[in-house]
A and B are shown apart, each in its own frame.
Chain A
Amino acid sequence: DAKTTQPTSMDCAEGRAANLPCNHSTISGNEYVYWYRQIHSQGPQYIIHGLKNNETNEMASLIITEDRKSSTLILPHATLRDTAVYYCIVREAGGTSYGKLTFGQGTILTVHP
C-alpha cells in the first residue's frame, strides 16, 4: 500500500475554507486517493475520491497535484459540524480486497466559532 502523511491537527474558523493536505509520494499509477472522515463516536463517512483530475461534489473538493504525490481536501465553508478526524487513504492496488482500507492517524480538524 502506498502510505500517506497528514498533519496531526488543524484549526479552521467557521465559514472559512478548510484545506487539508496529504502526502502520498509512493502512490502508483492505478491507485486512487480517497478521503473519509470520522465524527466523534460515529463510523467513517466517505467524502470524495479521485485519480488524477480534480474532483468536486456537494461535500468537498479534491485537488491532486500533477505528479500525484500529494493532494488537498477543501471544505469550502466549514461549519462546526465538520469537526472530525479526516483520513486520506490510497486504495490498495492489487488483490481482491479493494474494500480493505488502510487508515492512518488522520488529521483532527477543529472548526471554531
Chain B
Amino acid sequence: NAGVMQNPRHLVRRRGQEARLRCSPMKGHSHVYWYRQLPEEGLKFMVYLQKENIIDESGMPKERFSAEFPKEGPSILRIQQVVRGDSAAYFCASSPKNPGYNEKLFFGSGTQLSVL
C-alpha cells in the first residue's frame, strides 16, 4: 500500500521561474490538502481539493499560487514567478473522504523548494 507520494523531493528554482509540485494521494483517497512549512515555522494550511474541485483555498496566497486536482492524475501545486520567500517545505496530505471529526490525514514526505 503506497502512501502519499510527492515529487520531486527537492526542487531548485531561480527567481522568476515556475515551480510545479506533484502529489499522488493514497489509493482510494479523493481528498487532498496542501500545507506549507516556512523555515523555523509551523505548518500552515493552504488549500483543500477534491477531484476537479477546490473546496477551500483560504490559505493560498492571492497571487502566483494555484492548485488543481484533475479527474486523472496527481494534484498539482503551481507557483508562478517564484521569489525567495517561497522557499519552504510543501506537504500534501490525503484522506478517503471529507474527514469528519473521526478521521485522520495521511501526509507525504514533502517537497523542499529552494529559490535561488
Interface of A toward B, CB cutoff 8 Å: 30-32, 34, 38, 41-46, 49, 51, 87, 91, 95-106
Contacts and interface: CB of A to CB of B under 8 A. Distances in A.
Interface in B18-43: 31, 33, 35, 42-43
A101 B42 contact: no
Contact of B105 (A30, A95, A99, A104): A99
Interface of B: 4, 31, 33, 35, 42-45, 48, 55-56, 58-59, 91, 93, 95, 98-110
Given A31-B101, A44-B43, A100-B58, 5 more contacts: A44-B93, A49-B102, A98-B98, A99-B33, A99-B99
21 contacts: A38-B43, A42-B109, A43-B107, A44-B105, A49-B104, A96-B55, A96-B56, A96-B98, A97-B48, A97-B56, A98-B98, A98-B101, A99-B95, A100-B45, A101-B35, A101-B105, A102-B45, A103-B35, A103-B44, A105-B42, A106-B42
